[in-house]
Structure 1
Amino acid sequence: MKVVRVQYTTRPEFAAVNQQNITAIVNELKMLNHSGIKYTAWLLPDSKTFMHFDQFENEEAHQILQELLSFKKFADELWSSNLEVEPNLELLSVVASTESYF
């Protein structure tokens, strides 16, 4: 299992576009219906800081996410948007959970 947490801050004027791009990723993932990918994005109270919390059955599942057209569009536009705070990526390890994962 691979767990990834990413947090970054957009410029206020880009936050709505970023939300639309994230929604497109979620829609594509729902259509794909891959049981080894759990993808969640959160918007923090400042309305411009995003946190993604993704869980993958394995590295192959992570690669599937990164190859989605919607994810590539999201990443391209995010990197060209002049972020206030660049993404901080952390790989996490599960200690205990009430949830069943892969």
Structure 2
Amino acid sequence: MINVIVTYTVKPEFVLQNKMNIQKFLADFKNLDQKAFEYKVYVKEDGVTFLHYSNYINEEVQHEVLNVPSFREFQKLRDESGLNDTHKVEILQSV
């Protein structure tokens, strides 16, 4: 099992657009095998920091999920919005 947490902070004026972009790729994820992965997105109390939690049964599934076109577009738009080095990826190990 692969478990990942990604956090990043967007500019306040990009929050609404980011949420819409997230909803688009989450809708597309519903067309994939839901038993093979889990993907959840949260916004922290500050209203501008997003946390994406995901887990995948293997690397093949992870690759499939992360290459959905709407997800790739979300990443592009998010990165272009100006994250100011706030993007952080953490791989979690099960205990």
TM-score clears 0.5:
yes
**SS in structure 1 of the partner of residue 31 of structure 2:** helix
* 1:74 and 2:86 aligned: no
* 1:32 Cα offset (Å): 2.1
* 1:34 Cα offset (Å): 3.7
* 1:33 Cα offset (Å): 3.3
Shift in CA distance, 84/12, structure 1 to aligned 2, threshold 3 Å: farther
CA distance in 2, matches of 1:84, 1:40: 23
Structure 1 stretches of 4+ with a deviation exceeding 6 A read none
RMSD, aligned α-carbons = 1.1
**SS in structure 2 of the partner of residue 46 of structure 1:** coil
Listed as ranges, the gaps of 5+ residues in structure 2 are none
Q: Deviations over 1:19-67 (max 9, x none)?
A: 1111111100112234211000000111110000000000111101111
Q: Indicate the residue corresponding to 1:61 in structure 2.
A: 61
Select between 5-14 and 76-85 the one with higher mean Cα deviation: 76-85
Aligned length: 95
TM-score after normalising by structure 1:
0.87
Listed as ranges, the gaps of 5+ residues in structure 1 are 96-102
**SS in structure 2 of the partner of residue 86 of structure 1:** coil
Percent identity, please.
31
* 1:91 Cα offset (Å): 0.2
Select between 33-42 and 47-56 the one with higher mean Cα deviation: 33-42
Q: Indicate the residue corresponding to 1:42 in structure 2.
A: 42
